[in-house]
Amino acid sequence: MEGDLTETLISNAHLQVQVENGLYDLATPFFGTEHTMRHLRLPENLQSHIHLEYYDAGHMVYLREQDLAKLKSNAASFIQSNSAH
């Protein structure tokens, strides 16, 4: 996956990626996600295209009402801020 994401980001200079992380996620632990995103071997000018969001939840961040609201807000903001490209 890492190589595919790196290639995609390099080939599309406007692409932004947002990763949603549950702090207590045992299926896809956020430390693993952080490590992967930091080691994509992206050019420096594209490293800011990776956005990490965190929730006080497990794998299904939408189960906790506070995190569902935060997820909705984060996703809407991400789409809105990147839809002009």
Q: Enter the pTM of the model.
A: 0.84
Enter the tokens of residue 75.
């996703």
DSSP summary character for residue 14: T
Where do the DSSP E strands lie in the chain?
17-22, 50-55
Question: How does pLDDT run along the chain (85 residues), one tens digit per residue?
Answer: 568 999 999 999 899 999 999 999 999 888 999 999 999 999 999 999 999 999 999 999 999 999 999 999 999 999 999 987 5
Look at residues 46, 65, 48, 56 and name the one whose alpha carbon lies nearest to residue 21.
56
With a CB cutoff of 8 Å and minimum separation 6, the contacts of 40 are 2, 5, 6, 9, 50
Report pLDDT for 85. 56
Report pLDDT for 44. 93
Report pLDDT for 29. 86
Residue spans of the domains in the chain: they are 2-82
| Architecture of the domain delimited by 2-82 | 3-Layer(aba) Sandwich (3.40)
